[in-house]
Amino acid sequence: MRALVVYCHPRADSFNAAVRDVVLEKLAAAGAETRLIDLYAEGFDPVMSGPENAAYLDLTIGTEHMEPHVAAIRWCDTLIFVYPTWWYGLPAMLKGWLDRVLLPDVAFLMPEGENGTIRPGLRHITRLGVFTTGGASRLLTFFVGAPGRRTLLRGLGLLCKPGRRTAFAMHYLMDSSTPKTRAQHLQRVARQMDRLIGPVPQRQEVRA
């Protein structure tokens, strides 16, 4: 297993750091090769410039400006995100990482012909994990549509291997959390990691 953990939080003492540590401990115990991208620690620039956007759209952008991030995406077979949910979605830092790193011919292939659609480019990723926290309740988050979860597990997930193994855990009502609820959530993260690390089921081919 080759696991890439993308971590996004501006404070070293955040609860998300504790979640990240559980994720890393579980990967280490499973003997996984692991790479950690800490977006705030490295000062990642999430802003796509005008020239970069133009190159993106006309497919002259290349990947050199986003190494070693692109190399890490191509290397991993397991992709895990740890981040806080802000305004029901992804922090700007993480959204910018998706915009700038998951490039054409990296995460997806551009459409062929008129009225075509993009084609998946992350079929080598067989496991996808999302671990987050948020101030809203579960009910309110789902009423709004849980856009962060949908972006990663559904939108990004569709680019990954069919039959991929997924895991998700969110601590809702984080602003009124207690030591007990935080400890319970870390246990939930550990259980979800055990599930994610387990063998990926093989899809059965349907024969005529």
The model's pLDDT over 18-64, given as tens digits with 9 standing for 90+, comes to 999 999 999 999 999 999 999 999 999 999 999 999 999 888 998 99
Please give the mean pLDDT across all residues of the chain: 93
- Counting the structural domains of the chain, the total is 1
Domain that holds residue 102: 2-197
50 domain residue, yes or no: yes
27 domain residue, yes or no: yes
Residue 200: is its pLDDT beyond 70? no
208 domain residue, yes or no: no
203 domain residue, yes or no: no
99 domain residue, yes or no: yes
For the whole model, what pTM was predicted?
0.92
- Measured over the CA atoms of residue 56, residue 61, residue 65 and residue 68, the dihedral's sign is positive
Model pLDDT for residues 109-134, shown as the tens digit of each residue: 888 777 678 899 999 999 999 999 99
204 domain residue, yes or no: no
pLDDT-based confidence at 205, cuts 50/70/90? very low
Q: What is the CATH number of the domain that holds 30?
A: 3.40.50.360
DSSP-assigned letters across all residues of 14-82: SHHHHHHHHHHHHHHHTT-EEEEEEHHHHT---PPPHHHHHHHHTT---SGGGTTHHHHHHH-SEEEEE
Tokens of 129: 């994990």
The confidence score (pLDDT) of residue 203 equals 57
Mean of the pLDDT values across residues 163-176? 96
The confidence score (pLDDT) of residue 208 equals 39
| Rounded CA separation 114/34 (Å) | 41
189 domain residue, yes or no: yes
Mean of the pLDDT values across residues 95-116? 88
130 domain residue, yes or no: yes
Residue 204: is its pLDDT beyond 60? no
